[in-house]
Structure formats: structure tokens, C-alpha cells
Structure 1
Amino acid sequence: MDSVNQIDPNDVPYLPEARGGRLVRSRPGAMRVLAGLGLGAVVVLSLGVAGKLGQRAALAETASAQDQAPVVTVVRPHRPTTVPAVVLPATVEPMQETTVYARTSGYLKSVRVDIGDRVAAGQLLAEVESPETDQALREARAQLNRERASLLLAQATLERTRQLHAEQLVSRQQLDEQEAAFDTGQAAVEAAEATVQRLATQKDYERVVAPFSGTVTTRGVDRGALITAGSGSTVTSLFTIGQTDALRVFVDVPQSAAAGVRPGQPVGVGLREQPGRTIEGRVVRTAGALDPRSRTLRTEVHLPNDDHVLLPGMYVEVAFRAPSGAPPLVVPANALVIGADGARVAAVEDGAVRYRKVVLGRDFGHEVEVVSGLTGGESLVVSPGDRLMDGQAVQVAAAATKAD
């Protein structure tokens, strides 16, 4: 038991020894402990000093970066040498277009035209067979003949009565009755003639003719179909005819360009399918007032189409030539700041940023017109974003250049 618990005093530096009845410490072990403690303190102190020095250097670098003004690129607004035309989309429409309905009921006897056929005014398009109308016309004519015969009898009787009354062989009452019978006969004849005229006109409607020269664009019936007279959504139409030798387009001109649109003004109409070709048109009339909802001016343009190159329904682009005079300033689109309070630009004045409100005109994609707010000599910051504050000092990267 004693051999197991026995400890060598040299292995334990703080193990006391009994010398003359007093406890003493082992000196070699104490020295090693003190040396280790001293070395650890030096290491800790070195790490603390290095961390403080790095933190101070980082703070100094941050402060230096904050004190340095940001570098910006600037451009100058300019006036284009030529004012671009106002190009607006539109759809080609016939000069006239109408839907043809039957004026009399019956069966479609024949169809003389089809879609794509060009017809002249008054040309026969189709025929409607209406037995009821024919029968009614015959009855009306027979009634007219009967009324005319009755009128002739009433006229002869009246003449005889007048002679007898002159000889005082009949009373005045009898003469008045014959005159009234003659007047009634005349009225009956006129009514019968009106009936015959109405039915004859209705019979003429069995021939469906073109109201004007144009092109048949739709056909809604076939031969033998039952036709109902009238018009509306519940009645089937026969044909649709459009006048295509001259066409028209309606263009909604925005407010910024509406003041320069006048009747008689020439315009250029282009097709995407035929690049480089321009068809000359002319402004015929305008609405004379802007639509309060869209702030646009309704404008009608007429186009010649003798060669029938243009077709109704085509998409075209109408170019309104810009009026003469000094064009407005333009700035790059990336020089604008659009916010809740409108459009602004960041101008560099005396080494500081100054925001200015501007009124914009037409948008050309990479450039935008500025109607008011600039004089043309400003240096505008490119892509200012939200990083620049009003009054903040900046450095210009290079001399202001003219915007492309």
C-alpha cells in the first residue's frame, strides 16, 4: 500500500519537504512555472496590440474613403440636327364599308359574286325569290284595276247627275251624293296605286345590288338559303363590301405632337413587309379636341390605293413630319431619375450635385426629349441612382461630352 501511494518529491514542484522541522518548496519546478507564465503573458500582450493596430488601420481607411468625393461621369444635353418624325401605329380601313342585308324575305335564288370580287355600283350581287311578294303584287294590281273601273262609273254618274240637276230633274242632295262618291273613288284609286308601288318596290328588292364600287370582303349565305328581311344581330347578312381603291387610317396623335397636325398635311405611311417604301397620304380632318382619357387627337388620313397594294386590316406606321424650328433638347435615358415627384436630372454645379425637375417630351429609346427645365449647358450625371444626395460633393471623371 505504501509503495503504491509513494510520490517522488522531485516530480512535484510544490511538494513541501521537511528540513529541520520546516516545510520548503522545490526551486527547479517553481522556476519552470514562472517561465511559462511569463511567456504566456507576452503572447497575449502581443496579440492584443496587433488587434488594436489592425482595427485602427481599418477605421482610418474607412474614414479616408468617406472623406473622398465620389467620381461621376457627366454628359451635356444637345439638340439633334434633324427632328425625328412622330411615328404612330394604325390600321388600314376601307374608305367606305357596309354590310348588305336583304330587304325582302324569301329564298336565295342565285349568288352572283364571292369574296374578293370587285364590283361596280348597282351591280347585281344576288337574287331572292319571294312568292308571297309576287302574289301580293298581283292582288294589288287587280284591286287597282277594280278601283279605277269604279272611279270611271262614279265619274259618268256624276256628269249625268249634273245635267239632270241643271234641268232641275234631281235634287241638290242627289248631286252632292254623286260628287262624294266620285271623290271616294279617286281616293280609293290613289290608295291602290300606292299599294302597287310599295309592292313593286319590294319586288325590286329581290335583286340585291352593290351600293357603291368596291370589293366583296365577306359572304354570309349560300344559294337556297332562307332569307329574312331586316338587319341586326339576329338576321344573317348577305355580303360585306368595302371601297378599297382609296383607303383611310385613324391615328391617335399624342398631345406633345397634336399642335402640329393640320388638315392637308402630308404624311408618310410605311409597311413592315416592305421596308424602305413610303406611301404618301394626307391628313383630311381631325377631331379638333383631345380625348380627355388618353390625351390624344383623333386624326383621319386618306391614302391612294389604285394598285391595291394595301389591304384593309393591314398594320401600318404613319410618320408625321416634324414642324420646322429649333428641336428640343435631348438627354440620355440613363441620365434621368424618375420618382414619385416626376422626372429629375442630377446636374454638377461647382463640384456638387444639384437635382433639377424637367418636363419630358417624346421617348426615342436611348434618348428622351426635355421640353423644359434645361438650358443646354448643364453637366448631367450618368446613372446617378440613389447614391448621390442633393448638394453632395463629387469629382468629374472627365470633361463633359456631347451625348450620342
Structure 2
Amino acid sequence: MLRYKSDSPRPLSALLALALLVGCQQEADPPQAKRDATPVAAHQVNTRDLSRPLRLAATVEPRALISLAARTEGTVKSVAVEEGDRVKAGQLLAQLDVAEAAAELARSEAQMASAKLDFERAIELRRRGVATQIEYQAADVALQVARSQRDLWLSRVAYGRIEAPQASTIIARHIETGEAVEIQSTLFELADLDQLVLRLGVSELDVVHINQDQILPVTLDALPELRLEGRVRRIFPAAQGSSRLITVEVLLPSSAWDQGVRPGFLARIDAAIDPRPNTLVVPGAAVGSLDNGHYVYVIENDRLVQREISKGISRGRWTEIVNGLEPGETILASNPIDMLEDQQVRIVINHD
């Protein structure tokens, strides 16, 4: 058997294996400086949509709902309309039996005619110098009393005629022929269905970004394919008690009824208010405070560089950067208060 002497050259394969082993050992053991670098989470600066979302739901309602009440008691003589009928202003809806009031009207008209004759006679007698001033004034007063009585019963008879106060649609009818009604009992409910609205309860944080005549998109659960544009008709002047919500009335298009929208349908608003579609942002936790402003740590060549910034609004975990940073720069993503300028760092987590 042949043996190599201890001072003889090593085989080439052994030298290569030794070199490979040393190289692997060097890769496994990074330089001391890199091992001492602080591990950090980083964030690459970019833009996001920082618009404020508005997501609300409300029931469709007529803008004006009229409860038509009886102005006198009586029996329903006839009803001329049904639910769903469109009526004109002044159109007859129902007639109450006011025979007693009509009889009183006839008697008061006869009394007024008699008083008128007495007054005309007093005028003639006064002209001849037969009647005194007092007799003339008494005849005049009697005529005025008779006229007021006649007008009173005219009103009572008119109360039996139930008319539409404006052009509208009958949405509820509460009487039938032959039914007895009392004063102030509701007979009909009417609404102008060409003006349908949503009355939204909006928080004080959102309402400041809503303006009168602003257009908001509207969808309905019952008609998922329909897309409408609602217009902010008015913003109520005060919040509702303890809820601190302010009512915002949104008017639907006049064609909504013809497109199938009905009072009672659930409608939804999903819009962006205070639009900020391409806003440069950073995590709010990455922003530190100075005596006269704010800063972040930019990571350059594995070291921290303090950069003063001007920040804007904050929404959720994001803060707007007005100036001081550019898209694509990498910053420290965590609280910078415990870090130092020029500190060496090693990025272990990189947030986009």
C-alpha cells in the first residue's frame, strides 16, 4: 500500500473541498457590523385613496305626506277615489252627509234676506226723516249678524265636501260609504310621488363634507340593477338629540316612481366625500413629533436619516404627507421615538 508523506502536496480535490467549506462558513457568518444592525420594519412610500367613505341606508319616503282630516262630524255619503289614484287640486274625494248643516244654511239665508229688507226700509225711513239714527243702526247690525250666521253655515256645509288640497296620489284611504266620522279623524293620506326622498342620519364628522345640491349615488335592494343620482335638497340645521346625527334630505329623480321605486323601499348611499384619490401617505405610527413640526426616518444605505415632513389629514392607519417625501422612498414603519439618526438597521419586514 502506498502512503503520502506528511510534507507531500495535498491532492487537488482536497484543496477544492477546503475552499468550498471556508466560503460556506463565510456566508453563514455575516460581518460583525451587519449582525449588530437593528432589525426594523420598513414601508415603501406610495399613494392611496384617502377619500372619506359615506355608507348609509334609509327608507324611501314621499317628500310631503298629507293626512287629510275631517273638519266636521257626519256620515260618509260617498267616496270617489281609491288608493293609487292621482288627483288634481280641488278634486272631490268624498262627501259627508251634512243635511242638518244645509238646513241651518237655508234658515240663515232666509233670516239674512229678512234683515236685508229691514235695513233697506230703515234707509228709506231715515231719508224721509221718520226713522231715528238708532233705528237705522239697529237694522244695520241685524243685517251683519244675519250675514255672519249665513257664512258660518256655508262653511259647515263646505266641510262636508272633502277635496284634494294639491295635485297628488292617494296612498291610503281610511273611510267607507256609510261610516260615521268624527272631527279631526284621518280620512285620506296623500303624497306627491314625483318627489321621493331619503332622510339620512349623518354624523357630524361626515356632514361637514356634504353640500346642498351635491349629487350622491343611490341603489335600492328591491331594484339591484337600478342606479339613481340623488341630489342633496337640504341639510337640517341641528343634530337629533343624543344621537348627534344630522338629517340630510336627498331628493330622488322625478322619474324614480316610473322606474319602479316605491315608498318604503330600502335605499343605500355608497359615496366618497372629501375626495382625495391619489394621496401620498405613510403609516401614522411612523411619524414622530418635533418642537416645530414632524419627521420620519428614511432608510438610506441601511442607515436612518431623519427627514422633516409636513403632514395633512389622518384616516385610519394612514397619514397624508404634504411635503418632505417622494413616492418610492423607504422609511421606518414603526414608532421612531427610540431610534437615532445614522443608526444602522437591517430590514426584516417590508410593508408596501
Q: Into which bin does the TM-score normalised by the smaller protein fall? A: 0.5 to 0.7
Matched to 2:231, the amino acid is R
In structure 2, C-alpha distance between the alignment counterparts of 1:254 and 1:328, rounded to whole Å: 24
TM-score (norm: length of structure 2): 0.67
Match in the other structure for 2:207: 258
Match in the other structure for 1:26: none
Match in the other structure for 1:90: 58
1:187 pairs with 2:141: yes
User: Structure 1 residue aligned with 2:267, among 292, 302, 316?
Assistant: 316
Distance 1:86 1:227, change over 3 A: same
1:294-336, Cα deviation, whole Å (9 max, x unpaired): 444322221223351221222111244433446667899xx9x
Match in the other structure for 2:15: none
**Do the aligned residues in 1 keep the contact of 2:217 with 2:269 (CA within 8 Å)?**
yes
Q: Which has the higher strand share?
A: 2
Q: With CA pairs under 8 Å and 6+ residues apart, which has the higher RCO, 1 or 2?
A: 2
User: Structure 1 residue aligned with 2:178, among 182, 200, 224?
Assistant: 224
- Which shows bigger deviation, 150-159 or 136-145? 150-159
In structure 2, C-alpha distance between the alignment counterparts of 1:369 and 1:134, rounded to whole Å: 77
Distance 1:271 1:72, change over 3 A: farther
Match in the other structure for 1:273: 222
1:113 pairs with 2:81: yes
Larger-Rg structure: 1
Q: Superposition RMSD on alpha carbons, in Å?
A: 4.0
Q: How many residues align?
A: 289
Alignment of 1:142-181 (within 5 A): 142-161=110-129, 178-181=132-135
**Do the aligned residues in 1 keep the contact of 2:239 with 2:247 (CA within 8 Å)?**
yes
1:329-385, Cα deviation, whole Å (9 max, x unpaired): 7899xx9xxxxxxxxxxx99999xxxxxxx964x7xxxx66579xx9966557xxxx
Distance 1:276 1:327, change over 3 A: farther
**Do the aligned residues in 2 keep the contact of 1:328 with 1:370 (CA within 8 Å)?**
no
TM-score (norm: length of structure 1): 0.59
Alignment of 1:133-148 (within 5 A): 133-148=101-116
Structure 1 residue runs of 5 or longer lacking an equivalent are 1-70, 163-174, 231-235, 336-346, 352-358, 382-389
Identity over aligned pairs, percent: 25
Structure 2 residue runs of 5 or longer lacking an equivalent are 1-38, 286-296, 305-312, 340-344
What is the CA distance between 1:157 and its match in structure 2?
2.0
What is the CA distance between 1:275 and its match in structure 2?
3.0
1:242-293, Cα deviation, whole Å (9 max, x unpaired): 1111112222222333222111211111112333532112112213455574
In structure 2, C-alpha distance between the alignment counterparts of 1:125 and 1:369, rounded to whole Å: 61
Distance 1:292 1:219, change over 3 A: closer
